[in-house]
Amino acid sequence: MENRFKPGDIVQHFKRGMISAEERDANKYLYEIIGVATHSETREPMMVYRPLYEDGGMYVRPLGMFLSEVDREKYPDVRQKYRFEKVQG
């Protein structure tokens, strides 16, 4: 599995395309990539990231899930191909 992101990249969750202008101005659904960690028990790679809104804590998500494509059956109108995509700029 190829990781498309590096530490410091700013990415957006696909749901960012479905929010109000006010929420966009508040950086809703924008995240900074911290890096990839390894789960100590399962050895599964985990993406470490932090939101650029609200509490700014750090979160992890399995790397495969983080890099996965959007479920088109569940979200047919979403424009992004992947769950998280790098913000251009």
For the domain that residue 79 is a member of, what is the CATH number?
Answer: 2.30.30
Which range is least confidently modeled, 44-48, 56-60, 69-73? 56-60
Q: Is residue 30 part of a domain?
A: yes
Q: For the chain, how many structural domains are there in total?
A: 1
Q: In this structure, is residue 37 part of a structural domain?
A: yes
Q: Cα-Cα-Cα-Cα dihedral of 72, 50, 48, 77, to 10°?
A: 0
- Domain range for residue 62? 10-86
Q: What pTM was estimated for this model as a whole?
A: 0.90
Residue 35's pLDDT band (cuts 50, 70, 90): very high
Residue 1 lies in a domain: no
Q: What's the average model confidence in pLDDT over 11-40? A: 95
| Rounded-to-integer distance, Cα 72 and Cα 39, Å | 29
Asked whether residue 56 is domain-assigned, the answer is: yes
Percent of the chain with pLDDT over 70: 98
**pLDDT number for residue 2:** 77
> What pLDDT does residue 89 have?
57
pLDDT band per the 50, 70, 90 thresholds, residue 39 = very high
